[in-house]
Amino acid sequence: MTKNIDWGNLGFGYTDLPYRAVCEYKNGKWGEMQLSEDPYVRISECAGVLQYSQSCFEGLKAYTTQDGRIVTFRPDLNAERMYNSCKRLEIPAVTPEMFMEALDRVVKANIEYVPPFGSGATLYVRPYVFGSGAVIGVAPADEYIFRMICMPVGPYYKGGAKPIKVKISDFDRAAPRGTGDIKAGLNYAMSLYASVHAHAEGYAENIYLDPATRTKIEEAGGANVIFVTKDGTVVTPKSDSILPSVTRRSIMYVAEHILGMKTEQREVTLAEVPDFVECGLCGTAAVISPVGIIDNHGEDIVFPSGMEHPGPVIQKLYDTLTGIQSGRIEAPEGWLHEIKAD
Ligand code: PLP
Ligand code: COI
């Protein structure tokens, strides 16, 4: 039985659901995947994660479809990205098999908390892995914990489908050949100062430029960016130092192969941004958040779609993507992974 929760008024916040999946790495190997009822973790005071931020994470969602199935969206891509994040951080790799086992078990164990179809909420799943063994010299830890938790959530950016106002940040997010293309916790730690200050100034989010030249759009603090040109082409920045967003890759596929739009993944300069007619931030948490205004150092770039409603192309992409995720529109082969209740 689905829990009786005020789904429509949920924010994007943590709740400790009854179960989480846990797996520990000790003596050179991963142990058995377990379900645990303990929301606390006990680790060494000198754990690798506490000293040198050796951790990475993922984010994906489970949905109830129109016909009552529980599905997750392209989890194979999250599993692959977590594998790559582990490799880059010298964390023993969480294999796609471990990832999928944890996903199936944790969603099934908390199935009463998967929001119903049409409620506006979803079950956010947060896999993460960190160095739990003690280190004091700079080195990888010898013990790790992989956990997968989940919680029902509402919109990430306040206002939901209402356009947001964002700013071009004076801080940099990820160096060329750094860790911008993986989901390392450290990428978010260093963004906190910029995001707290942006929020205090009334912006929903930061957009970062390429650190080398500060002339090209990279991505937002928690989402990739898409733009729409006057002739309706969907454009997204190409860069080796941004996160390969599952949502953005899916949107670009949907635009080209389902909606028959023109798409381009290429370098996008800050100078050309005023020529675009629509802009959106896309990610698992963000879904597609329309952007009405980008403040570039005191100069507002106001998109013609404005601050009241999403522009028509962003709206169409949003409807199609969420239609696929919730089973209203047929998904491309392999995009929906069903979680079957026992
Ligand atoms: N970029 C950053 C920095 C993010 O934190 C996220 C969120 O996961 C994304 C992009 C979007 O990625 P995805 O669509 O895979 O959730
Ligand atoms: C996600 O979209 O899953 C993320 O991890 C973004 C995060 C900043 C909430």
Does ligand 1 lie within 6 Å of residue 289's CB atom? no
Token pair belonging to 129: 């892995």
Residue nearest to atom 9 of ligand 2 (CA): 285
Q: Which residues contact 162 (CB under 8 A, 6 or more apart)?
A: 290, 307, 308
Q: Which atom of ligand 1 is nearest to the CA of 187?
A: 3
The pLDDT, as a whole number, for residue 157 is: 83
Q: Contact, 208 vs 216, CB < 8 A?
A: no
Is 80 exceeded by the pLDDT of residue 342? no
Residues 137, 20, single domain; the answer is: yes
Q: What is the mean pLDDT of residues 39-60?
A: 98
Q: Which atom of ligand 2 is nearest to the CA of 183?
A: 5
Is 80 exceeded by the pLDDT of residue 181? yes
Token pair belonging to 271: 């100078």
In 3D, which of 89, 87, 105, 196 has the Cα closest to residue 150?
A: 105
Token pair belonging to 1: 């039985």
Q: Contact, 302 vs 293, CB < 8 A?
A: yes
Q: What is the CATH number of the domain that holds 281?
A: 3.20.10.10
Instruction: Give residue ranges with CB within 6 A of ligand 2.
Output: 59, 222, 283-285
Residue 238 annotated in active site: no
Residues 187, 312, single domain; the answer is: yes
Confirm whether 264 is domain-assigned: yes
Residues 47, 102, single domain; the answer is: yes
Domain membership of residue 246 as a residue range: 164-326
Residues 203, 277, single domain; the answer is: yes
The pLDDT, as a whole number, for residue 77 is: 98
Q: For a pocket test of ligand 2, which of 156, 187, 192, 206 has the largest count of ligand atoms closer than 8 A to its C-beta? A: 156
Does ligand 1 lie within 6 Å of residue 222's CB atom? yes
The whole-chain average pLDDT of the chain stands at: 96
Does ligand 1 lie within 6 Å of residue 247's CB atom? yes
Through-space distance between the first and last CA atoms of the chain, rounded to whole angstroms: 13
Q: What is the mean pLDDT of residues 234-238?
A: 98
Ligand 2 centroid, distance to 231 Cα (angstroms) = 31
Query: Bridge partners of 35?
Result: 21
Confirm whether 334 is domain-assigned: no
CA atoms of 210 and 49, how far apart (whole Å): 28
Is 70 exceeded by the pLDDT of residue 318? yes
Sign of CA dihedral 24, 25, 26, 32: positive
Pairing of strands 263-266, 234-237: parallel
pTM of the predicted model as reported, rounded to 2 decimal places: 0.97
CA atoms of 162 and 204, how far apart (whole Å): 11
Q: What is the CATH number of the domain that holds 19?
A: 3.30.470.10
How many structural domains are present in the chain? 2
Using only C-alpha atoms, the chain has a radius of gyration, in whole angstroms, of: 20
Q: Contact, 295 vs 239, CB < 8 A?
A: no
pLDDT in tens, 102-145: 999 999 999 999 999 999 999 999 999 999 999 999 999 999 99
Does ligand 1 lie within 6 Å of residue 223's CB atom? yes
Last residue of a domain, one of 93, 123, 153: 153
Query: Bridge partners of 26?
Result: 29
**What is the enclosing helix (H) or strand (E) of 102?**
helix 96-109
Ligand 1 centroid, distance to 174 Cα (angstroms) = 14
The pLDDT, as a whole number, for residue 159 is: 66
Ligand number nearest CA of 244 is 1
Token pair belonging to 146: 């992989």
Ligand 2 centroid, distance to 20 Cα (angstroms) = 19
Is 90 exceeded by the pLDDT of residue 341? no
CA atoms of 167 and 301, how far apart (whole Å): 10
Residue nearest to atom 3 of ligand 2 (CA): 59
Ligand 1 centroid, distance to 12 Cα (angstroms) = 15
Type of residue at 38 = D
**What is the enclosing helix (H) or strand (E) of 317?**
helix 312-325
Q: Contact, 282 vs 220, CB < 8 A?
A: no
Q: Contact, 92 vs 144, CB < 8 A?
A: yes
User: Could you tell me the pLDDT band of residue 199, with boundaries at 50, 70 and 90?
Assistant: very high
Residues 101, 187, single domain; the answer is: no
- Pick 257 or 2 by higher pLDDT: 257
User: Could you tell me the pLDDT band of residue 228, with boundaries at 50, 70 and 90?
Assistant: very high
